[in-house]
Structure 1
Amino acid sequence: MADNKIFVSYRRQDASGEAGRLVDHLQEIYGEESVFLDVETLEAGLDFIQAIEKALNSCKVLIAMIGPHWLNIQDAEGNQRIFNEGDFIRIEISAALKRDIRVIPVLVNGAVMPTADQLPEDLQGLTRRHAQEISSSRWKYDCDQLVAALSKIIEPKPQPVKPTPIPPNSAKQKSWFAKNYLWLLGGLVGLIVLIQLLSLPEEDAIYDDFEENTEWTNGLSQPTEKDSPPAQLPEENPTTTQDNSFQEPSNTTSTEEVFVDEITGYWLLSDPQGNTSTLVFNQYDDSVEFLEYNIYDVEVGEGNGSISGTQLTADYYNSLVQISGKLILNTSNAGGSWVGTISFPTLGTTTNVSMQRINP
């Protein structure tokens, strides 16, 4: 096996989640065969000490993930496991130091580097190695710093070329007439109305004079005294009643409808932790489909769904970790930006996300 592997050492009670997340990230960049996750990678029935020795023979780098409890975890007798000669974490790091393999301490969840007097003699060389920090609040930035250091030692695998999405027919470049026909139509209607007003017959002028000499009260026209004599009130008919009350027209204002623009194109999906990916959408009427790419332009997911009003709902599948989820987004500014959630029912997790257009 080529001497190009990365060995990740960690304690399950201390940094299990961070180790798994980091390994997924490194496998995207360097390939699955280039990352060895401690005893998790071993097949059943193998001697883990022999397997560790064999893995270290093909490794250039050992990443020692150190969390807040890494040093103080105890065995069944209440002794620190790091001082136990059979502790596999001690075996892994000690063997790497003896073979002059590059050892990179990675501090997670606010952990600090142990001092030499806190470690057994064969691990004290670890304190002289420059450490990298990784925190959940700036995970992407910290991982990029670690990858930059690793890439000086191990060459990343070639990344596939990102395919160019084929836009639907509705996304073709519109002609000048297609973009401005509403303005042209409005101008034509206005011109017709103006011509009709200028060609009014003379009889309409008589009606205009009548309006000038008429006072309007509560929507009912009453002639003035100088233009006509007082009107004679009709005799009261006891058998009929007349309702002369004026009915105000209702003032009902409809809510302005929001129309969502064409969503075809490139969008940046992000969460509050700073993780981002690129979604490439194609829209066909109310249905949509998309591909997801990570920051290294590797396809990691796909989805399809529909747009109803100002809500986008899509089924999502992450091909990297082989898990399905649900993406629900809403917009309040005609599709310029979207906010919502992505949920994974099998994990029981829901994360707030936002989506901004990358290309116009």
Structure 2
Amino acid sequence: MDGPGRRAIRGDPPSVFICYRRNDLDIAVRMKERLARLVGEGNVFFDFHSINFGLDFRNVIHEVFSGISIVVLLIGSAFHAERLHRTDDIVGLELREAVTRGTFIMPALVDGAPMPKADAWPPELAEIAYINAAPLHRGREFDRDTERFVRDMALSYASRVGRTRGLNIIRFPDGSTGAV
């Protein structure tokens, strides 16, 4: 097994994009750190660390999504699905790109936030309202919630891409899990 900070998933790990509102930056950073330990730092796209200053983020998002396997969508209390209707909404841009490309979306409801109803989303994104979202809490439950999130994300993604045989869930020394 690989040590901390090393790639823990052998073969071709999925590339993960973390999609969130700024109000959830703290938990997005924690999720990024956890996912980077599992799939490798270079396989986690996180806007603060992944888009250079001076670049048009719309172009970068379009290019990046050609290699993204999974979108982790963090929905917190300030998610405000109605903002997704605006053409200048960054989260809406990211999600439209994901849906257009058929990218696997794994939502998490932060600190008990509700999943917005389908009619609150733009029509092209309404299908997201029907995805079974995982709970994710900032407090003591973070490690437990993240462990289940990662396990279910790995299993759901593998099932979707038809790779259920030979998939093993492994537990790391820090208690986190991953798929091999």
Separation in 1 of the partners of 2:123 and 2:75?
18
Q: Which has the higher contact order (CA 8 A, sep 6+)?
A: 2
Check 1:129–1:45 CA distance in 2 against 1; reply closer, same or farther (3 A cut). same
* TM-score normalised by structure 1 residue count: 0.40
- Aligned partners of 1:3 and 1:60 also within 8 Å: no
Indicate whether 1:58 and 2:99 are aligned.
Answer: no
Pairing 1:115–2:125 present:
no
Partners of 2:90 and 2:126 in 1: how far apart?
16
- The aligned residue for residue 17 of structure 2 is 7
The answer to whether the 8 Å contact 1:105/1:129 transfers is yes
Residue in 1 that maps onto 2:30 = 21
Residue 3 of structure 1 and its aligned partner are, at CA, apart by 7.8
Q: Counterpart in 1 of 2:108?
A: 106
Alignment partner of 1:295 is 2:175? yes
How far has the Cα of 1:86 moved from its partner?
A: 1.7
Indicate the structure (1 or 2) with the bigger Cα radius of gyration: 1
- The answer as to whether partners of 1:39 and 1:48 remain within 8 angstroms in 2 is no
Between the aligned residues of both structures, percent identity stands at: 25
1:57 CA displacement: 1.0
Partners in 2 of 1:43 and 1:159 — Cα distance? 34
Aligned pair count?
A: 155
TM-score, normalised by the number of residues in structure 2: 0.76
Pair 1:139 & 2:149 matched: no
Q: Distance in 2 between matches of 1:60 and 1:53?
A: 14
More strand by share: 1
- How large is the Cα RMSD of the aligned pairs? 2.6
- 1:89 corresponds to: 91
Structure 1 portions without partners, runs of 5+: 73-79, 161-292, 297-360
- 2:21/2:91 contact within 8 Å kept: yes
Instruction: Give the corresponding residue for 1:128.
Output: 130
1:151 is paired with a residue whose SS is helix
**Corresponding residue of 1:236:** none
Question: Does the 8 Å contact 2:14/2:69 carry over to 1?
Answer: yes
Is the contact made by 2:13 and 2:39 (CA closer than 8 Å) also made in structure 1? no
Query: Measured at CA, do residues 159 and 118 of structure 1 come closer, stay the same or move farther in structure 2, by a change above 3 Å?
Result: closer
Compared CA separation, residues 159 and 138, structure 1 to 2 (3 A): closer
Give deviations 1:130-167, integer Å, cap 9, x for gaps: 211111231111111111123333789x999xxxxxxx
Encode CA deviations 1:72-93: one digit per residue, 9 max, x unaligned: 7xxxxxxx53221121100111
User: How far apart, CA to CA, are the structure 2 residues paired with 1:40 and 1:122?
Assistant: 28
